[in-house]
Chains A and B, each alone.
Chain A
Amino acid sequence: MTAAQTTVAALPTRFAGARRFARAFRGRPSGVAGLVILVAFSLLALAAPLFIGDDELDVTKVDGPLLAPPSAHYPLGTDQSGRSVLLLLIWGSRESLRIGVIATVLTVVFGSAVGIIAGHYGGFVGRILMQVTDWFIALPSLPLAISLAAVLGQGSMSITIAIAVTSWTATARLVRAQTLAVEARPFVERARVLGAGDRQIMVKQVLPNVMPLILVSSTLTVAGSLLSEATLTFLGLGNPADVTWGEMLHEAFFGGAFTAGAWWFLLPPGLAILAVVLAFTLTGRAVEYVLDPRMEKK
């Protein structure tokens, strides 16, 4: 990637950097494909209320055939209550993506804060923080998430929190390691000599330098969060009135679609999860390559 190699020589303009990044990213077809899928799902999710009315997802109002295979009127068939699986799938993307993204934001903000503070202060504070992190890593995440969701009461809110609580540790470790690396560089020392305080160093010097890493980490975290959301709702910890992909799988599995051979109700939510998780992973990997010149040599 020539763009990546000329980084040092480029002008320190914000837009130039973005343009360079875009050019490098375009050179990675898999990343572009992932991004296209993500944009498509996001647009569909945002536009869903424009073409799906409340009545089409309300079990008491729909009048479709029960668990019917795909037809012209119901391109992906219907569920046990006679709702269109296609509309459920589109509507489900809203809640699934929302839980995934919010959980990721919580994860990344908290994980980065812990990582930077631990890396910057080191010593006693850093040790304690890292020990807490290690402790969380050692906890089995699925049972922890299940118990958290059970304690907090069921629904999307508690699932979001449960995901965030169990997945911030990886980000914290990553960011701490990067913080240590950044703080060893001369420009941080220069800033300290010039009288910069802890806060200024962390926010002005370290944060911009660990940002690419956080960005990459968050795209991968979103993928993990989406899967966790699907797992937890599949296990019955969601709100049954919500429509999410995990909830759809839950209904299909426990409502007998499995035995009835109703593949049209089982496969679409599974494939949608697969597509979005894959898209986030591809995008994240592409971004990682573009931002990290060392990756080229591997």
Chain B
Amino acid sequence: MAVRETPGFRTALAAAVAGGLLLAGPAAPGVTKAAAAASSTGTSSGKTLRVAMDGSGVDTLNPFTSFFNGALDIFGSIYPTLTSIDDSGAPKPYLATSWTLSDDHLTWTFKLRDGLKWSDGKPLTAADAAWTLHLIMTNDVAATANGTLVAGFDTVTAPDATTLVIKTKKPKSNVTYSSIPFSGIPIVPKHIWESQVAGLKDFKNDSFPVVGYGPWILTDYKNGQYAKLDANKSFVLGAPKYDHLIEQIYKETDAAVAALKSGQLDYISGVNATEYASLQHVDGVQTAQAVGHGWVGLELNPGAKTRTGKPIGTGNPALHDPVLRRAIALSIDKKTLVTKVLNGQGQVAEGYLPPAWPQWSWQPAPGKKQSYDPVAANKLLDDAGYKRGPGGTRTDPKTGKPLNLRLGIHSDDSADAAISRYLVGWLKVVGINAKIQAMSMSALNSDLGKGNWDMLMDAWTTGPDPTYQLGIQSCSTLPKDDGTGGNTDSFFCDPAYDKLFAKQATLFDPAERAKAVGQMQEILYEADVDLMFYNATTKIAASSKVGGLITGKPNADGFYPAQQTFWSYLKATPASAGASASSSGGGSTGLWLGIAGAVIVLGAGVAVVRRRAGADDRE
């Protein structure tokens, strides 16, 4: 499951910007709110882990209709799934202990654990799983959130209490990813939900404790404030070390950071680079970076067309030439982007799928790597007949027009803006004149869909199953002749790629599937339509009083594997001797300087406004 970076986040960022320089403002109310929740939970006995909920919060606790990450996090904790995901991104046992695929690649048989019980004491069997999946396949409301995950399922049956059989219409190698924590389908208790099917759309699922099975049991949820969970000490994958879990909701991560500094919070995933820097040297706080599950890159319009091959849009025809696209690829110094734009908080990207899921990671063969080489890029263009005109800009030999290319960037993304300055400089060296067009997210995507673009900055994040992410590069996602139905990432279309896309769906052996996926990434790499720049890390901050929260071992760059809250919360261990948290004002000098600067500028503004008002009055 892949998510184009949500407009919501960007809008929130813009709103924060519009809030102006009052960065210090929101922290204060946030702290008091966190303190209130902390004290209200002080009455329950045992150790409590306090984490910041994902900023999106909870839309509804009904797992059939919920989209928000905060809710998905809770479902991962309170409902079981068929499989879990390990550090490499591969499916591992959870409810299912093993699974097999029939020779015709169409029938999956899952062996489920015996003797598990829902939190109300009723047995948890394959019938619950079959009922849940079947409901999503047959009921439109139930399919709201996860309908795409069962697309292609033919029948789901439970011949006995520990066997689940899934038959698919066509071979579908990602069936083992359909029901995973967080991004897959949570299995719900049939005996509770059966009576709710009629009113499923409006069912809030808010009678506490919520009947489920998982490492945690949801005991309370206050909209916009917190979710309280108790540990399931008999959890089959190992009991949580904490007795209680509180997911605290913060409107701004700044407030969460302040709460972490003052010891009222134990874990935040996804702090921004600035907050990360300010937390790095604070006593009582540990920070870590996890390899990124997304990429930032540049798309080149290879000639937008519909499914029937009808050209559409205003893309510059010069970019149809693979030589020009390769020259652009060679003129970009990704390493500089990582060190200068990202402050080293990321990795240079080559393959299309992110390093968070190592089983799909692909690297170009040594001789095939497209490294930064402006000399080679210039030579390619010279040889292909792109002659330099006045001002050093080359002309397209086919049309005789100078190479003026539009470069679309997200107007509310400071990384895009910083990168675009480098791109313009590098492209100038090879004789290409790039004109920056900063646009809103929606304007950019609308232009993309219509083919009205030359070069675009884009960013994606990907879950452990790459099917969707690979799918948006296939010919079948091109728009229809009437302009609708398109879902293409960049109008890439290659029959060889599509053949491999169909083939990888039939491969049961993960290694074989990974090989096919690698070949697909190689085709993308050689086509130079999606130029990967970097995979930025996910930045995590946690209280140093908690052990085990950050899972896995760091790699050579010091980056941890992708973090899954399912495992992080499960493995978190209270430290026996807690180091006392004392916050030191690392960033406060800058803060005060900034405030001083803001006061000066605003003061001048006020002075002018007052003056003008005075002038008006006098007339």
Give residues in A with beta carbon < 8 Å to B. Answer: 58-61, 66, 80-82, 150, 153-155, 170, 173-174, 177-178, 216-217, 220, 223-224, 227, 230-231, 235-237, 239-241, 249-251, 253-263, 266-267, 270-271, 273-274, 277-278, 281, 285, 288
Stretch from B62-70, B123-131, B270-278, B538-546 contacting the other chain: B270-278
CA distance A220 to B618 in the complex (A): 15
Q: How far is the CB of A237 from chain B (nearest CB, A)?
A: 7
Select which of B275, B422, B594, B605 is within 8 A of A253 by beta carbon.
B594
| Given known A-B contacts A220-B611, A227-B605, A60 and B600 have beta carbons under 8 A apart | no
Select which of A60, A80, A173, A270 is within 8 A of B597 by beta carbon.
A270
Q: Which of B583-619 contact A (CB under 8 A)?
A: 587, 589-591, 593-594, 596-598, 600-601, 604-605, 607-609, 611-612, 615-616, 619
**Interfacial chain A residues near B604, Cβ < 8 Å:** 227, 273-274, 277-278
Tell me if A's interface is mostly helix, strand, loop or mixed: helix
CA distance A31 to B267 in the complex (A): 57
Select which of B21, B425, B609 is within 8 A of A58 by beta carbon.
B425
Select which of B418, B421, B438 is within 8 A of A154 by beta carbon.
B438
**Interfacial chain B residues near A261, Cβ < 8 Å:** 587, 589-590, 593
Select which of B17, B275, B429 is within 8 A of A60 by beta carbon.
B429
**Interfacial chain B residues near A220, Cβ < 8 Å:** 608, 611-612, 615
**Interfacial chain B residues near A251, Cβ < 8 Å:** 414, 417-418
Between-chain CB contacts (< 8 Å), 11 pairs: A81-B418, A223-B608, A241-B436, A250-B414, A260-B277, A261-B590, A266-B593, A274-B601, A277-B608, A281-B607, A285-B611
Assess the A227–B17 pair: CB atoms within 8 A.
no
CA distance A167 to B302 in the complex (A): 44
Assess the A236–B17 pair: CB atoms within 8 A.
yes
**Interfacial chain A residues near B506, Cβ < 8 Å:** none
CA distance A279 to B178 in the complex (A): 66
Q: Mark B242-284, 1 if CB is under 8 A from A, else 0.
A: 0000000000000000000000000000000111011000000
CA distance A173 to B17 in the complex (A): 33
Q: Does B201 contact A (CB under 8 A)?
A: no
> Which chain B residue lies CB-closest to A230?
B601
Assess the B616–A267 pair: CB atoms within 8 A.
no
| Given known A-B contacts A153-B437, A220-B612, A258 and B594 have beta carbons under 8 A apart | yes
**Interfacial chain B residues near A237, Cβ < 8 Å:** 411, 438
Q: Does B424 contact A (CB under 8 A)?
A: yes
Assess the B274–A256 pair: CB atoms within 8 A.
yes
> Which chain A residue lies CB-closest to B343?
A256
Q: How far is the CB of B424 from chain A (nearest CB, A)?
A: 5
**Interfacial chain B residues near A270, Cβ < 8 Å:** 597-598, 600-601
**Interfacial chain A residues near B273, Cβ < 8 Å:** 256
**Interfacial chain B residues near A255, Cβ < 8 Å:** 414, 418
Assess the A173–B619 pair: CB atoms within 8 A.
yes
Assess the A80–B274 pair: CB atoms within 8 A.
no
**Interfacial chain B residues near A230, Cβ < 8 Å:** 601
**Interfacial chain A residues near B619, Cβ < 8 Å:** 173-174, 177-178
Assess the A240–B409 pair: CB atoms within 8 A.
yes
Q: How far is the CB of A124 from chain B (nearest CB, A)?
A: 23
Q: How far is the CB of B445 from chain A (nearest CB, A)?
A: 15
CA distance A178 to B619 in the complex (A): 7
Assess the B587–A60 pair: CB atoms within 8 A.
no
Q: How far is the CB of A275 from chain B (nearest CB, A)?
A: 9
Most buried by B among A236, A240, A259: A259
**Interfacial chain A residues near B429, Cβ < 8 Å:** 60
| Given known A-B contacts A259-B278, A267-B597, A270-B597, A80 and B417 have beta carbons under 8 A apart | no
CA distance A223 to B422 in the complex (A): 32
Q: How far is the CB of A31 from chain B (nearest CB, A)?
A: 14
CA distance A60 to B590 in the complex (A): 27
> Which chain B residue lies CB-closest to A80?
B340
**Interfacial chain B residues near A170, Cβ < 8 Å:** 612, 615-616
CA distance A81 to B598 in the complex (A): 23
CA distance A267 to B600 in the complex (A): 10
**Interfacial chain A residues near B162, Cβ < 8 Å:** none
Q: Mark B287-319, 1 if CB is under 8 A from A, else 0.
A: 000000000000000000000000000000000
Q: Does B440 contact A (CB under 8 A)?
A: yes
| Given known A-B contacts A261-B587, A261-B590, A236 and B421 have beta carbons under 8 A apart | no
Assess the A274–B600 pair: CB atoms within 8 A.
yes
Q: Which of B142-184 contact A (CB under 8 A)?
A: none
> Which chain B residue lies CB-closest to A231?
B605
**Interfacial chain B residues near A217, Cβ < 8 Å:** 615
Select which of A173, A240, A262, A274 is within 8 A of B420 by beta carbon.
A240
Q: Which of B7-43 contact A (CB under 8 A)?
A: 14, 17-18, 21, 23
Q: Mark B334-376, 1 if CB is under 8 A from A, else 0.
A: 0010001101000000000000000000000000000000000
Q: Does B569 contact A (CB under 8 A)?
A: no
**Interfacial chain A residues near B611, Cβ < 8 Å:** 220, 281, 285
**Interfacial chain A residues near B587, Cβ < 8 Å:** 258-259, 261
**Interfacial chain B residues near A256, Cβ < 8 Å:** 273-274, 277, 343
Q: How far is the CB of B131 from chain A (nearest CB, A)?
A: 49
Q: Would you list the 3 A-B pairs with minimal beta carbon distance, nearest first?
A: A60-B425, A240-B417, A261-B590
CA distance A261 to B588 in the complex (A): 8
Q: Does B497 contact A (CB under 8 A)?
A: no
Q: Does B491 contact A (CB under 8 A)?
A: no
CA distance A102 to B429 in the complex (A): 32
CA distance A154 to B604 in the complex (A): 26
Q: How far is the CB of A243 from chain B (nearest CB, A)?
A: 10
Most buried by B among A59, A223, A230, A285: A59
| Given known A-B contacts A61-B425, A220-B612, A239 and B601 have beta carbons under 8 A apart | no
Q: Does B426 contact A (CB under 8 A)?
A: yes
Most buried by A among B17, B417, B587, B607: B417
**Interfacial chain A residues near B417, Cβ < 8 Å:** 236, 240, 251
Most buried by B among A61, A153, A216, A261: A261
CA distance A48 to B593 in the complex (A): 28
Q: How far is the CB of A293 from chain B (nearest CB, A)?
A: 14
Q: Which of B536-587 contact A (CB under 8 A)?
A: 587
Besides A178-B619, A220-B608, A270-B600, 18 more A-B contacts (Cβ < 8 Å) are A58-B425, A60-B422, A173-B619, A174-B619, A235-B17, A236-B417, A250-B414, A251-B414, A256-B274, A258-B587, A266-B594, A267-B596, A270-B601, A273-B604, A274-B600, A277-B605, A278-B607, A281-B611
Assess the A227–B608 pair: CB atoms within 8 A.
yes
Assess the A257–B590 pair: CB atoms within 8 A.
yes
**Interfacial chain A residues near B605, Cβ < 8 Å:** 227, 231, 277
Assess the B425–A59 pair: CB atoms within 8 A.
yes
> Which chain A residue lies CB-closest to B420?
A240
CA distance A262 to B590 in the complex (A): 7
CA distance A59 to B416 in the complex (A): 14
| Given known A-B contacts A258-B590, A270-B597, A81 and B421 have beta carbons under 8 A apart | yes
Q: Mark B415-454, 1 if CB is under 8 A from A, else 0.
A: 0111011101110010000001111100000000000000
**Interfacial chain A residues near B336, Cβ < 8 Å:** 60
**Interfacial chain A residues near B593, Cβ < 8 Å:** 261, 263, 266-267
CA distance A177 to B616 in the complex (A): 10
Assess the B590–A240 pair: CB atoms within 8 A.
no
> Which chain B residue lies CB-closest to A263?
B593
Assess the B421–A59 pair: CB atoms within 8 A.
yes
Select which of A60, A150, A174, A259 is within 8 A of B277 by beta carbon.
A259
Assess the A259–B425 pair: CB atoms within 8 A.
no
CA distance A288 to B619 in the complex (A): 13
| Given known A-B contacts A253-B594, A255-B418, A236 and B436 have beta carbons under 8 A apart | no
Assess the B418–A227 pair: CB atoms within 8 A.
no
Most buried by A among B422, B436, B601: B601
